[in-house]
Each structure stands twice: as C-alpha cells, then as structure tokens.
Amino acid sequence: MTGTRIAALGHYQPAKVLTNNDLAALVDTSDEWISSRVGIRTRHMAGPDEPVDELAAHAAGKALATAGLGPADIDLVLVATSTAIDRSPNTAARVAARLGMASPATMDLNVVCAGFTHALATADHAIRAGGARRALVIGADKMTEVTDWTDRTTCVLVGDGAGAAIVEAVADGEGAPGIGPVLWGSVPEMGHAVRIEGTPPRFAQEGQSVYRWATQQLPALARQACERSGLAPEDLAGVVLHQANLRIIEPLAAKIGAVNAIVARDVVESGNTSAASIPLALAKLVERGELPSGAPTLLFGFGGNLSYAGQVVRVP
C-alpha cells in the first residue's frame, strides 16, 4: 500500500502590482472602501503577453527546483484553472511543453476557486491507484482577463498568480508529510452565484449569497475534512482557505475552531486569485518558515459552481 505526500511547493505572481488607489482612478471606489469591505490592499496583474500557462510554468519550475527534480521525473500534470481562453492544447499540455517534459498525462480541471484542492485529491487518488508515480499539481488563474473593470463590486477583488505542488508516492508508515482524505461536493442549484460567462467571458457573483453560504454552511464541512484525517480542528497548525475575501476568511476560520492554527491571509496582498489562491498562500507560509515541515494544515477551497473540497496535508 502507498500513501502520498507533498514533496515541494512553488509560487509565482506577475511583477505588476495594482493598488487600491490605482483602482480608485478607474472606478468609483477608495482604499478605505475596499479595505473595510474585502480586506484587500494590493493584487498582481499579468500583462497581455503573460498567458495562464506561463504563470503556471513559473510556479511549477520553482516547485521542481525546490524538490531537486527534473521534467522527466513527472508523469502526471494537473492544472486547475477557469481562465484559460483556448480549449486545446489544454493548459497542462502547454505547461508540460514549456518545461520540456517527455510524455506525461496532462489534464485541466475547471472547478474555479476550489480547483486546486480538487486537483490535489485527484493526484492523490491517481498515485494511490497506481496510475501515476509523481504528479505536478498547479492552480493558476488570470482573473484580470475575465474582469469587468467598470464593475466596482468585482474588479476590486481579483488578482493573477499561480501555485504548484509536487505530489509523490510514499510508503505507508514512513511518517512523511502526507495528504489526507478529501471531503468534496457542490450545491448545483446555486451555481449561478459565482459565474464566468459570456463572450468575452466575464466574472460576476452574488456576493451576499456567497458570503452567507461560506460563513454558515462551510464550517461544518471543514470540520468533517479534519475528522477524515483523524484530527480535531484544535490539532491543526495551519488553515489555508480559498483567499476570497478577508470578511469570509476570518469568520470561517473562527467557526472551524482551529484555535492554535496560523490562518493564511494572503488575500490582503494578492487579492482573489481563484484556483491559485490556496497553493500561493501555502507556498508563502512554508517559504517564510511560518509552517514547519510536517505541520498539519487544512486546505479548503470553495466558490464557483458552489463547489468545495478540503483535506488536511502535512507541509513539506
């Protein structure tokens, strides 16, 4: 029998930073209005010549370097994204080509803001079933490309970026950092609450509906994800929720009951980067040494489709 672990992480954000004051020059808003309502102060914005697969490849390259691995060591590439404009080649195939990989299986997963935790679970399942040996799991989105910059309720939220994880097999009982069982699901009848629709595609949401759902329904589900790993919320060292909005993150984290955990608040400097938000925030916490190796950390994604997925991992 084998389990899986995260061997290394990597993250990437474009160089251009958009402040709240920059947005105030575009729409009727202010730094005070944005900060008080969503907690965001800055976000990164990719240029027209920086497609999603380029953001993803940068993060993936850093994860490979951190793990001391090369392109030939990966046999499965999963990219969680909802902002790839082209249908084919998919983003995962383009990332594999950028990195010079020989013949990996390549798949995109579109579960919007819960995409990375869905992809992480998919990689875990594939490796446990013997379908892969080592996977590259990436969350990458270019939300600024699907944003209506005249809508102050949505344009203040978004940012661009990517985060990546190397997932590999590990023998049971080795005590290595591991990936716990996933809890996932959706609320299909409320799929309209978060949308990226139209031609050209544009991001829209029903903010109050999302807020109520996230703060009222998700705490119990997040606690169930902990239970599946055999842990109580107070055993957690870290909590990395989808970085949607500080007014969602803070009450949700409090209701989970992870009283001893460091709670990721990367949304303040990165905005909502959709599928990138969890691996981006997690990689930064690990890079800064705020979460030590082996620390049990809850990852919980939620949002578009009103989908959710969460699992407890041991950080590399």
Q: Which residues are catalytic?
A: 113, 242, 272
Phi, psi dihedral angles at 162 (to 5 degrees): -155, 150
For residue 315, count CB atoms less than 10 angstroms from its CB and return exposed for 0-12, middle for 13-18, buried for 19 or more. Answer: buried
Mapping DSSP onto H, E and C, the string for 48-99 reads CCCCHHHHHHHHHHHHHHHHCCCHHHCCEEEEECCCCCCCCCCHHHHHHHHH
**How far apart, in whole angstroms, are the C-alpha atoms of residue 278 and residue 217?**
20
Alpha carbon separation from 273 to 8, 133, 307 (Å, rounded): 21, 29, 16
Which residues, 6 or more positions from 298, have their beta carbon under 8 angstroms from its beta carbon?
Answer: 222, 225, 226, 233, 236, 238, 239, 240, 256, 258, 261, 310, 311, 312
Strand partners, 11: 163
> How many CB atoms neighbour CB 47 within 10 A?
12
Q: How far is CA 316 from the centre of its chain?
A: 17
Q: Which residue has the tokens 């999302």?
A: 210
Among 84, 78, 9, 75, residue whose Cα is nearest residue 54: 84
